[in-house]
Chain A
Amino acid sequence: MQEKLSAMVDGEWDDHELDALMASISQEEGADVWRDYHLIGDAMNQRSVLSGDFMANFSTRLEQEPAILAPNAMRRRMVVPHKRWVALSMAASVVLVSATAWYVSSARGLTVPGTPAGNELLAANQPIKVAPQVVEEVNPYLFAHQAMSGNPGFSHKPVILTGAEAERAAGHH
């Protein structure tokens, strides 16, 4: 097994080996993802998606969390994603700062390399104008959806509509 794994890391494997490897995994472990992920009759998840406690606590904490109250600034920075991603990954690889430290600071509203920060930082400090009823109306469904669908964003950031987006959506419909 270990040999196969290292062969895989070294790129010395092909589809036949892949099949064999998959087969061996299922034999060795019995219970197994390869069969299981075809099962759509998964035991139904009857319990509540999130406990009331969880939501209450989480909402409170969210309100105290400045990063979440300032998505407008982030949005502006991310408007041109393709170019920005190049810039981001370039910055991450070139600058001799650990990626971790750099991203933490950028997420706290510090300068993202290559963007003028002044206006955006100003915007970052302004609370977003979210129509509260819209968020309240949509969020319970979003939580339930993400909890069940396993969206990788699950519980990462429950606030889904920012001020600008809520306005845009309201304007369209």
Chain B
Amino acid sequence: MKLRMGLCSLLLLASSVQAAELLTSSESAGLLKRMAVSARILNYSGVYLYHHTDVMETFRLVHAYDAGGEQERRESLDGIPREFVRNNDQITCYLPNVRPFMLDRRAANKFFPGVIPDQILDVLNNYSFKRLGVERVAGYECQSVLLEPKDKLRNPHQLCLETNTGLLLKSTMFAPERGDLLEHFVFTQLDIGGPIDKRALKSVLASKALPLEPQPLPKALPAPLGGASQFVMANLPSGFRLVKEALSKLPGKADPVQHFLYSDGMATVSVFVEPASSNPVALPLSRSNKTVNFYSRQADGWRVTALGEVPLRTVQLFTQAFSVR
């Protein structure tokens, strides 16, 4: 018994020493690549839990990789049936009695466990990687790694990668200071490797959905709005870069809104700019649902709104960084 206790404390000591181990840049980059590759090229099937703010949901996921590439189907097991069917970089979402819609490539690269950072370098610049202990998730051992932000503009993330394959088994986003859990993905049941029955990859909801919407051809930005050139972005929160820019048609709004998407490699922030008159509301408006923070401000007849999976201060800084040229 004494020996066992001694062993236990030795193990505890070992794990606490290990907890401080900082990964080098190449180790960190390797980890991110390995995580992305394994999610793509392995066969796996299982059930995972998704928890954010007040909501807990489960999804069943089947992923296969062969000469034809990546095929995947995930379906919600709770609430409204929803289905996300992947064919390589394209994910089609099906809901009963709704037209199916497609997600673009970037969005398709953010689905658990196939989380591919926009820019690996950005992740390395903004987060320190710390190796934590080995955990056990869905029957598999996984190496836990903490992505600790180097400043207060973003949230810490913790990833747990299956020891042999590097497949992401668990992903958690925490609040910076109090460490509250903001968002959590975790496999509860998983089989890695082995053949996948083709039938399991077939959409079930496709037959119940409305016919697919024809894909509109991409159009150029209308000249009068002219994209980012109309606005000055000064003192943007550090570590974020513009990854996408578009005119988004928002539900319930008549006119399209300028939409800028920023990423620090892990977290994203959207900035929307629109004429203030189009939506009179008491401003500045600030809302938080823990996972996503929201801030809206009005200046020079324009309304600037920022939201993202970052601390409130960060979205606030984004709205202040935008001004009209």
Contact = CB atoms under 8 A, between A and B. Distances in A.
A89 B257 contact: no
Contacts of B193: 6, 9
Contacts of B40: 33
Which of B53, B103, B216, B263 gathers most chain A CB within 10 Å? Answer: B53
Given A57-B98, A58-B98, A107-B58, A99 B188 contact: yes
B103 A154 contact: yes
A9 to B, nearest CB: 4
A100 B47 contact: yes
Interface string B45-59: 001011111111110
Interface of A: 5-6, 8-11, 15, 18, 21-22, 25, 29, 33, 36-38, 40, 42-55, 57-58, 61-62, 65, 67-68, 71-72, 74-75, 78, 81-82, 85, 88-89, 92-93, 98-100, 103-104, 106-108, 134, 136-145, 147-157, 160-162, 165-166, 169, 172-173
Given A33-B89, A149-B268, A155-B95, 19 more contacts: A8-B41, A40-B119, A44-B244, A47-B218, A61-B95, A65-B79, A74-B54, A89-B188, A107-B58, A107-B77, A140-B251, A142-B294, A148-B244, A148-B246, A148-B248, A148-B259, A151-B268, A157-B57, A169-B289
16 contacts: A9-B42, A18-B33, A38-B119, A40-B242, A45-B218, A50-B251, A81-B180, A98-B189, A106-B56, A141-B294, A141-B307, A142-B307, A150-B107, A150-B109, A151-B309, A161-B289
Interface of B: 30, 33-34, 36-38, 40-42, 47, 49-58, 60, 65, 69, 76-80, 82, 89, 93, 95, 97-99, 101, 103-112, 115-119, 137, 139, 163-165, 180-181, 183-186, 188-189, 192-193, 213, 216, 218-219, 221, 241-253, 256-257, 259, 261, 263, 268, 270, 272, 281, 285-292, 294, 305, 307-309
